[in-house]
């Protein structure tokens, strides 16, 4: 699941027994997430050590439950497609102010797909029919 938004649903001044975990919303790209399944959020906290090497520490402690349209649902699993809000048992201060934007939430222990190949295609639109060997004069 690619996280496009995350937030803290707790109101200021909430009692300790009323505090809920953080919420992340996004799209499941592939695979299935099941109710009360352990998840990890990668790459997590990104820091540099003293020698300048980048170190990623994923958020690994959390179960999740579902939230859709501000109502709890009795779904057994979630699959690819659409947008979904996922409530977690993780510390809500981590998700505050879109703290997980761009992170990947997935089943604990799975490998993170680091990148996708993107190809650039350019197409000129709106200048008439093109022919091989003819140079187009495009006004500034």
Does the residue 136 lie in any domain?
Answer: no
106 versus 73: the higher-pLDDT residue is 106
Mean pLDDT of all residues in the chain? 74
Does the residue 123 lie in any domain?
Answer: no
What is the predicted pLDDT for the residue at 70? 47
Q: CATH number of the domain that 69 lies in?
A: 2.40.30.10
Residue 86 contacts residue 67 (beta carbons within 8 Å): yes
Domain that holds residue 8: 2-107
- Model confidence at 125, in pLDDT bands (50, 70, 90)? low
* Sign of the four-CA dihedral 64, 109, 28, 122: positive
What is the predicted pLDDT for the residue at 44? 79
Does the residue 86 lie in any domain?
Answer: yes
Cα 106 off chain centre by: 9
State percent of the chain over pLDDT 70: 72
Does the residue 72 lie in any domain?
Answer: yes
Does the residue 82 lie in any domain?
Answer: yes
What is the predicted pLDDT for the residue at 63? 66
- Output DSSP code: residue 94: H
- Model confidence at 113, in pLDDT bands (50, 70, 90)? low
Q: What does the pLDDT look like over 47-104, one tens digit per residue?
A: 888 888 888 888 777 666 655 544 555 667 778 877 777 777 777 777 777 677 777 7
DSSP bridge partners of 87: 23, 65
pTM of the model: 0.57
Does the residue 115 lie in any domain?
Answer: no
What is the predicted pLDDT for the residue at 98? 67
3-state secondary structure of 115: coil
Does the residue 124 lie in any domain?
Answer: no
CB contact burial 82-112 (16+ within 10 A = b; e otherwise): eebbbbbbbebebbeeebbeebbbbeeeeee
Number of domains in the chain: 1
Does the residue 122 lie in any domain?
Answer: no
Q: CA torsion angle for 30, 102, 91, 55 (degrees, to 10)?
A: 100
């Amino acid at each position: 699941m690619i996280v496009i938004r995350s937030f803290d649903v707790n109101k200021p001044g909430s009692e300790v027994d009323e505090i809920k975990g953080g919420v992340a919303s996004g799209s499941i790209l592939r695979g299935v997430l099941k109710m009360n399944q352990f998840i990890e959020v990668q790459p997590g906290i990104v820091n540099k050590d003293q020698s300048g090497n980048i170190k990623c520490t994923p958020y690994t402690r959390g179960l999740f439950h579902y939230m859709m349209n501000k109502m709890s649902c009795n779904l057994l699993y979630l699959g690819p497609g659409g947008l979904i809000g996922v409530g977690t048992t993780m510390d809500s201060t981590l998700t505050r102010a879109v703290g997980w934007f761009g992170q990947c939430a997935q089943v604990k222990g799975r490998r993170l797909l680091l990148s996708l190949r993107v190809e650039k295609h350019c197409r000129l639109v709106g200048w008439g029919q093109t022919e091989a060997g003819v140079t187009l004069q495009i006004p500034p």
